[in-house]
Chains A and B, each alone.
Chain A
Amino acid sequence: MSDWKERGAEKIFLLSTIISSSITLLILGFMAFMALPLLRGGLFYLLTEPWAPQQGLYGIYPMILGTAVISLLSLLFAFPLSLGCSFLISSIGPKSLSAAFRRMVQMMTGIPTVIYGFVGIFLLVPVIRELFQSGSGMCIFTASLMLGVLIAPTMILFFCDSFDRVPRSYIDAADSLGANRAQTLLYVIIPLARKGIFIGVLLAFGRAMGDTLVSLMIAGNSIATPGSLLDSVRTLTAHIALVIAADYESPEFRSIFACGLVLYLFIAVVILAVRRLAFRESGKRA
Chain B
Amino acid sequence: MRKKCIVTVLAMIFSLFVLTAGGVAGELDAFKGQRGTLKISGGTAHIPVMKEAAQRIMSAYPDIQISIAAGGSGVGIKQVGEGLVNIGNTGRKPTDDEIARYQLKLHQWALDGVGVVVSPKNRVKALTKAQVMDIFTGRINNWKGVGGENRKINLYTRDEASGTREVFWEKALDKQPISPSANVVVSNGAMKSAIAQDPYGIGYVSVGHIDRTVAPVALDGVIPTIKTVKEGKYKIVRGLYSNTKGEPTGLTRAFINYLYTPEGRKITEKEGFIPFP
CB neighbours of B181 from chain A (8 A): 222, 224, 231-232
Cα(A129)–Cα(B161), bound, Å: 28
B160 within 8 A of A: yes
Q: A136-B154, A136-B198, A223-B180 are in contact. Are A246 and B74 (CB under 8 A)?
A: yes
Q: Are B186 and A222 touching (Cβ within 8 A)?
A: no
CB neighbours of B179 from chain A (8 A): 224
Cα(A122)–Cα(B193), bound, Å: 10
B182 within 8 A of A: yes
23 pairs, A vs B, C-beta closer than 8 Å = A50-B180, A121-B197, A125-B197, A126-B197, A135-B152, A136-B183, A136-B194, A136-B201, A138-B183, A220-B184, A223-B184, A224-B179, A224-B180, A231-B181, A232-B183, A242-B160, A242-B161, A242-B184, A242-B186, A243-B160, A245-B72, A246-B160, A247-B74
Q: Are A216 and B186 touching (Cβ within 8 A)?
A: yes
Q: A133-B151, A136-B200 are in contact. Are A245 and B71 (CB under 8 A)?
A: yes
B78 within 8 A of A: yes
**In the assembled complex, how far is the CB of residue B60 from the closest CB belonging to chain A, in whole angstroms?**
33
Q: Which residue of B lies closest to A241 (CB)?
A: B186
Interface footprint category on B: 20 to 34
B159 within 8 A of A: yes
Q: Are A221 and B185 touching (Cβ within 8 A)?
A: yes
The 0/1 profile, CB within 8 Å of A marked 1, for residues 162-192 of chain B is 0000000000000001011111111000000
Cα(A234)–Cα(B217), bound, Å: 28
CB neighbours of B78 from chain A (8 A): 245, 247-248
Closest 4 CB pairs of A and B: A245-B161, A221-B184, A136-B154, A245-B74
Q: Are A222 and B182 touching (Cβ within 8 A)?
A: yes
Q: Which residue of A lies closest to B78 (CB)?
A: A245
Mark out the residues of chain A between 238 and 254 whose CB falls within 8 Å of any chain B CB in the assembled complex.
242-243, 245-248, 252
CB neighbours of B183 from chain A (8 A): 136, 138, 220-222, 232
